[in-house]
Amino acid sequence: MEHMSHDGRYHRRTLEGQIKAPLFEGLLEHVRQEPLAFHIPGHKSGRGMDALFRDTIGKQALALDLINIAPLDDLHAPHGMIREAERLAAEAFAAEHAFFSVQGTSTAIMAMILATTGPGEKIIVPRNVHKSVLSAIIFAGALPIFIYPEMDRTFGISHGISYASLERALMLHPDARAVLLINPTYFGVACQLPAYVDLVHAYGIPVLVDEAHGAHLYFHPELPPSAMEAGADVAAVSMHKLGGSMTQSSLLLQQGNRVSHQRLQAMMSMLQTTSTSYLLLSSLDTARRHMATRGEELLSQTIALSRRLRKAVRDIPGLAILDETVLAYDSFHALDPTKITIQVAGLGISGYEAEQYLREHARIEVELSDLYNILVLITPGDDDTTINRLIEALYNLSATFQTNGAYAPADILLPDMPALALSPRDAFYAEVERIPLSESAGRVMAEFIMVYPPGIPILMPGEIITQDNIDYIEANVAQGLPVQGPEDATLATIKVIKERLPLR
């Protein structure tokens, strides 16, 4: 198989090479030799742990729960089976280098930001980034230049940033050390990524991509362009989300010379545990093999199932679906069909109420719910049976909550993004005081508040709190949504900067 990147370079992905899983195969061979272990983990293949847990997990899985002893290579200085597994991952994803993460995509995101920015240096980012991006900015002491995304006031969500907004930010801040883009968004909306990358590269600035929800983009021609195909310099990819690996296993991909792969390796080593899980590492190795050898076939089935589900949802009274027909934004390029956002506001209920109904009456769990929508993911793990069950449950949801056959979508509450008054790091370490949330309008936030999932902060350190923000937070709390972040878990009080506006 050949894959051509945005810059015209061909990457050779050989089926023969991708059939190998050197890390997993090496791990199995080590276990077959039945070595007598006098090293951690202390459970020693399950013999020294709770019997019920051991029997539930299985002895074979526990035998693979090993540590970085010499025969098994070392993630922090790979030279053997891990190095070969990462090389095959780079080949499969059309990158020059790939680094395994056993601490999720959050660590990969932090590594690429810390590798490109430092204290006082600018990084251009969309405001609707994941908490991990903002945490890395605080750790680096960098100055975020926020671009505010396109706001969807029909579904109550944010999409990508426009090309014009990115161009304006670059003109005003040509000294930025990096630009971070989200592609696709949590809801599957992809931007014109190749054009965005070309624009940023014209300024000599590297492009970092939060590709947490795009592991599958590399393996099917009908899906939006991947970060590496678009010519991006670094991408953090959640293999566990849609690539088939175990939870908490991810990849960091790199190409070109704008960002040093040696520095990325150093940052990954600094951030990751030295007690790396070989279960997670081997699941990355085998998930890469699975997608590289069968991805197009499996994703063709997945896309067909998704289209059938979308067609069915359009016919269910009171429900609306996010698709190309309702996306009219400058940032919009394509919609990832595997992510299906279903608005339930027309039934007079919140997304959280819909989530609860599906859990209690159909034993179905969704990816996310918010004030107005539920989000479901269709993956190679689905088939006709799972899709039919979901369609039936959605019809029942509609029938349960209809009111005399009349459907009236609720007013959509979507506050404007708050303004930044102080760098996140300065705010995080400033002298603070605790005040009631209800009385905080006009003050500067000193901690995070977000709904997780998706983990995009409503407020972050350094931002000016508005009454709209307060109303939105209280609406989420009232609906029972998982609002988190402040030290006061009740959200009755929050921490704000003691110093009053105007700030320096």
User: What pLDDT tens digit does each residue of the chain (504 aa) get?
Assistant: 455 554 444 345 667 789 999 999 999 999 999 999 999 999 999 999 999 999 999 999 999 999 999 999 999 999 999 999 999 999 999 999 999 999 999 999 999 999 999 999 999 999 999 999 999 999 999 999 999 998 888 898 989 999 999 999 999 999 999 999 999 999 999 999 999 999 999 999 999 999 999 999 999 999 999 999 999 999 999 999 999 999 999 999 999 999 999 999 999 999 999 999 999 999 999 999 999 999 999 999 999 999 999 999 999 999 999 998 777 777 788 999 999 999 999 999 999 999 999 999 999 999 999 999 999 999 999 999 999 999 999 999 999 998 655 555 557 878 878 899 999 999 999 999 999 999 999 999 999 999 888 888 899 999 999 999 999 999 999 989 999 999 999 999 999 999 765 544
pTM of this structure: 0.93
Query: Given the DSSP bridges, would you call strands 143-147 and 122-126 parallel, antiparallel or unpaired?
Result: parallel
- The helix/strand/coil state of 144 is strand
Domains of the chain, CATH where assigned: 19-72 (no CATH), 74-293 (3.40.640.10), 296-401 (3.90.1150.10), 424-497 (3.90.105.10)
Share in percent of the chain as helix, strand, coil (round to 5): 40, 15, 45
**What CA–CA distance (Å, rounded) separates 89 from 21?**
10
Residues written for the chain: 504
Q: What is the DSSP string of 339-392?
A: EEEEE-GGGT--HHHHHHHHHHHH----SEE-SSEEEEE--TT--HHHHHHHHH
Cα separation, 456 vs 447, in Å, equals 13
- Distance (Å) of CA 364 to CA 334, 360, 380, 454: 28, 8, 17, 19
Query: Where does residue 137 rank: exposed (0-12), middle (13-18), buried (19+ CB within 10 A)?
Result: buried
**What's phi and psi for 416, nearest 5 deg?**
-65, 150
